[in-house]
Chains A and B, each alone.
Chain A
Amino acid sequence: EAGVAQSPRYKIIEKRQSVAFWCNPISGHATLYWYQQILGQGPKLLIQFQNNGVVDDSQLPKDRFSAERLKGVDSTLKIQPAKLEDSAVYLCASSNTGGASYNEQFFGPGTRLTVL
């Protein structure tokens, strides 16, 4: 079974530029999450999708961050314009709503963003 795929793995941009990250979850997983992991901290949830609907985006800085999950499969996370404090690893995860792996989240390798 293929895992969660993310691209790009690394991205360097200057502040005020825009950037987009892509995530492909495990096939059949209805729930998709985006986390932000700042160096030295644990991951923090930015947004949670159930199929193509948003379940929780309470910690998403909506003035600059946006995310979508069209057709309930792939997802993109966008930052526009980027700030220095957005430098972090952006992790995508997916989970199933039933079966043996119930409530378990599977993580992708992450995208490391550096804002100069």
Chain B
Amino acid sequence: AQSVTQLGSHVSVSEGALVLLRCNYSSSVPPYLFWYVQYPNQGLQLLLKYTSAATLVKGINGFEAEFKKSETSFHLTKPSAHMSDAAEYFCAVSESGTASKLTFGTGTRLQVTL
């Protein structure tokens, strides 16, 4: 069975500071990994995905994540936070293959302060 653990349900950073959101996964087969962002009263939007190609994945809005198999991690980073980054972020895992279901973490709410 696959699972995802997101450390820290709330993270607060100052505008311009580094953003680091942590995600560890468990999967019995090579995983596909995803980060989604959810703004209030909206659906989920894909930030980036890892599908067994390059281990450093770049996404939208300046975010990137690095797949580290030895640490079973897929942490999300952004060098400089912007007020518009305030949202809920979800890490998700699926088994490599055709249209497999996603298993989501519990989410991390990012707060950006002035």
Cβ contact of A42, chosen from B32, B42, B98, B104, cutoff 8 A: B104
Q: How many residues from B make CB contacts under 8 Å with A? A: 28
Interface mask (A38-57 → B, CB under 8 Å = 1, otherwise 0): 00111111001010000110
Chain B residue numbers with a CB within 8 Å of A43 are 44, 90, 102, 104
Cβ contact of A110, chosen from B34, B43, B49, cutoff 8 A: B43
Within 8 A of B (CB), among A34-81: 40-45, 48, 50, 55-56
Chain B residue numbers with a CB within 8 Å of A55 are 99
Cβ contact of B99, chosen from A4, A45, A97, A112, cutoff 8 A: A97
- Contact at A103–B90, with CB atoms within 8 Å? no
Within the complex, the shortest CB–CB distance from B100 to chain A, in Å, comes to 7
CA distance A50 to B94 in the complex (A): 16
Contact A104-B44, Cβ < 8 Å, known A42-B105, A50-B99: no
Within the complex, the shortest CB–CB distance from A46 to chain B, in Å, comes to 10
B106 located at the interface, meaning its Cβ lies under 8 Å from any Cβ of chain A in the complex = yes
CA distance A33 to B99 in the complex (A): 10
- Contact at A107–B90, with CB atoms within 8 Å? no
- Contact at B32–A103, with CB atoms within 8 Å? yes
- Contact at A91–B51, with CB atoms within 8 Å? no
- Contact at A91–B32, with CB atoms within 8 Å? no
Contact A97-B44, Cβ < 8 Å, known A42-B106, A103-B51: no
A: which residues have CB within 8 A of B? 4, 30-31, 33, 40-45, 48, 50, 55-56, 91, 93, 95-97, 102-110, 112
